[in-house]
Structure 1
Amino acid sequence: MRLATYNIEWFANLFDRQDKLIVDDSWSGRHNITKAEQVEAIAKVLTAVDADAMLIVEAPNTGKTQNTVRALQRFAEAFDLRTSHAVMGFANDTHQELSLMYDPMAMTVNHDPKGTGDKNAPRFDGVFHIDLDIDATEDRVRFSKPPMELLVRTPAGGRFRLIGAHLKSKAPHGAESRDEAIRISIANRRKQLAQAVWLSRRVGAHLDAAEPVILMGDLNDGPGLDEFENLFGRSSVEILLQAGLFDPHAVEAYADQPGSLFSTARFARPTEGEYLEALLDYIMISQELRACSPQWRIWHPFHDPTCLAVKDLHQALLTASDHFPVTLDIDL
């Protein structure tokens, strides 16, 4: 089975208010890329990856007239993708939903949110209470994009929990001065760490119940991304690894002597005339799944030999999004 996670930048802009795909020469949300170009690129990437299930981070919007599942299923139909079904969890107000496209012949999937019923590990649409800065005052944390908690069953009778997540960005959007940027950055990191702790407790509850867990998505965190990462002692990624999850890219990136510097995203820096590479997207598995022959791959257009060699795929990856797919092949 192949599972994948893919943050598709400005995917929502490619659909009208009735979830019809817009394929024309108007500009997409991507710089200097038309909607038609981005639509074609996304379709090429999804076809090449050929996953049994793919978490779409920043999926099309659900609102008064729009519906994420309908939009994604129409996209799959337009390009004859075998991931013809879609499921989502709690809708949010950001126009960046979380949804899973999947092949119904490979699995059955249900949104199945769980929670402890108290403030220590509530459902992801609830409120989490935690004192992050040890000031004897509890912080009340909500997800702007509640994680999607799914129960997945395979035709062979296997089952596992799949959690799709998009954690809070640490970027100081809206800051008008350096002091304000510092304040916002610290506040955003505090909230992101709280969200990671919340996620880790939900993962722990499933592990305590002997349920295999796969957590994937854009965690908006990785080594060396900003000057505040040592302020709280641990990163979001480290919190989740310590909860009993494993991702080889994350483990190596946080090693005392890291090897290759992995990257799942590439952001333009127009003023510097260069790009920032970052490890933001992960597929983490619980320990018992490590016996199921897992193999990870980052579909990076420059670092993956096949993606670099195949010209159409290379260009499609650069056109479709500023993030690149991560896949996990695993015997489930």
Structure 2
Amino acid sequence: MTTARPLRLVTYNVEWFNALFDNNGRLLEDDKPSARYQVSRGEQLGALGIVFTALDADGIVVIEAPDTNGKRSTVKALENFARKYDLRARRALIGFPSETEQEIAFLYDPDRLTARHDPKGPTSTTQDVPGAPRFDTTFRYDLDADNVFENIRFSKPPLELAVTTAGGRSLRLIGVHAKSKNPYGAIGHEAQIRLSIENRRKQLAQCLWIRQRVEEHLAAGDSLIVLGDFNDGPGIDEFEKLFGHSGVEIVLGTDPDPARQLIDPHAAMALQSRVSIAPASARFYLAPQKRYFEALLDFIMVSPDLAARAPEWRIWHPFDDPQVAEIPELREALLQASDHFPVTIDLPDVI
């Protein structure tokens, strides 16, 4: 008797993926510079081909996916990419287009999964409508505790998916790219701090919005996976002390009832060891300090019923993961492909 292959899902932020395609979704496999420092477009595409092939995933939430607008198509670009590198995950979809050139997309294996964009929530923005509003609309929240409700919007609306496995199991996926804007335009240190605090409040309000949707799914008994780049995490910056919780903690759930919490072991490690050992999923070069800085920004959070299946989480870090580190080609590809590293979860007995 053979054991069924686990369902492998991935979140992967691909830096400047959009710059690797022309307006017709064709790959720009040349020696011209990519947006990655000292990496050509051809080199970055080749590196991404190696990484996606190694992942061998059933479904990948691609953060910073190629743009969709009047001239460009995320779906066409990603499906051309999958065809070029003969990936199992060869069908793509997106939800609500982003206001930026960075989409949230799902690239999946149609032999193992079916998937459709299935947004939830009312489109009304009034305070009287129950439930979290749809992610392409407006969330009203009192950011400053002054009894004045501000309008919160996503520049990159989360991608809500209804997914069904080949065996008929239903899953809910929410792909997230939360972003706290830099304090551009603020003159002087105090003005920059004020704007930074305001932007962080808005990001936390977005996480509260996502958390409301999470609670609706948990109450309905849905098998839920929330995954993506939160640009945030336990201990990530000084504003966490000001607000009490990081956005990641808010989405995971602060209620002590385990049935109302999402589970991510990497987040749990960071919460338990804020000033010591913690995993990392992204690596950035800081020019003033002339060194690299690492952070845990990418997460895969699952509902308790999925966590009870003993899934395996993994960050494909080129130096911290021994299985990756011992394969030079994959290690170098991960460094060339993006400033983030893929995070995977293998869910047994789901397909």
Q: Same fold (TM over 0.5)?
A: yes
- Shifted more, 176-185 versus 286-295: the winner is 176-185
Matching residue within 135, 142, 150 for 2:146: 135
Aligned-pair distance for 1:222? 1.5
* CA offsets 1:40-76 (integer angstroms, 9 cap, x no match): 0011000111111011000000011100011000000
**What does residue 304 of structure 1 align with?**
321
Aligned-pair distance for 1:171? 3.5
**What does residue 160 of structure 1 align with?**
171
Structure 1 residues 311 and 102: alpha-carbon distance in aligned structure 2, compared to 1, 3 A threshold:
same
SS, match of residue 267 in structure 1: strand
Partners of 1:166 and 1:218 within 8 A in 2: yes
Percent same amino acid at aligned positions? 50
Matching residue within 25, 37, 40 for 2:31: 25
Could you tell me how far apart the structure 2 residues matched to 1:62 and 1:113 are?
18
**What does residue 263 of structure 1 align with?**
280
SS, match of residue 254 in structure 1: helix
Partners of 1:252 and 1:258 within 8 A in 2: no
Aligned-pair distance for 1:224? 2.9
Whether 2:75 is the aligned partner of 1:69: answer: yes
Partners of 2:113 and 2:166 within 8 A in 1: yes
Partners of 1:252 and 1:259 within 8 A in 2: no
Partners of 2:180 and 2:202 within 8 A in 1: no
Aligned-pair distance for 1:116? 4.1
Partners of 1:141 and 1:191 within 8 A in 2: yes
Structure 1 residues 31 and 177: alpha-carbon distance in aligned structure 2, compared to 1, 3 A threshold:
farther
Could you tell me how far apart the structure 1 residues matched to 2:312 and 2:122 are?
33
Whether 2:180 is the aligned partner of 1:169: answer: yes
TM-score, length-scaled by structure 2: 0.91
Structure 1 residues 325 and 174: alpha-carbon distance in aligned structure 2, compared to 1, 3 A threshold:
farther
Could you tell me how far apart the structure 2 residues matched to 1:3 and 1:231 are?
34
Residues 53-202 of structure 1 mapped to structure 2, 5 A cutoff? 53-116=59-122, 118-119=124-125, 120-202=131-213
Structure 1 residues 63 and 257: alpha-carbon distance in aligned structure 2, compared to 1, 3 A threshold:
closer
Could you tell me how far apart the structure 1 residues matched to 2:274 and 2:186 are?
35
Whether 2:245 is the aligned partner of 1:239: answer: no
Structure 1 residues 318 and 256: alpha-carbon distance in aligned structure 2, compared to 1, 3 A threshold:
closer
Whether 2:293 is the aligned partner of 1:276: answer: yes
RMSD over aligned Cα, in angstroms? Answer: 1.4
Partners of 2:233 and 2:248 within 8 A in 1: yes
Matching residue within 202, 213, 216 for 1:205: 216
* CA offsets 1:208-255 (integer angstroms, 9 cap, x no match): 111111000001101332222211111101101115211001012112
Aligned-pair distance for 1:183? 2.1
Aligned-pair distance for 1:172? 3.0
Read off the aligned partner of 1:285 and give its amino acid letter.
V
Could you tell me how far apart the structure 1 residues matched to 2:146 and 2:98 are?
31
Matching residue within 16, 27, 31 for 2:22: 16
Residues 221-240 of structure 1 mapped to structure 2, 5 A cutoff? 221-240=232-251
Unaligned runs of 5+ in 2: 1-6, 126-130, 254-259
**What does residue 317 of structure 1 align with?**
334
SS, match of residue 231 in structure 1: helix
Partners of 1:90 and 1:125 within 8 A in 2: yes
Partners of 2:234 and 2:249 within 8 A in 1: no
Aligned-pair distance for 1:179? 2.4
Partners of 2:13 and 2:342 within 8 A in 1: yes
Aligned-pair distance for 1:117? 5.1
Partners of 1:170 and 1:220 within 8 A in 2: no
Aligned-pair distance for 1:205? 1.0
**What does residue 256 of structure 2 align with?**
none
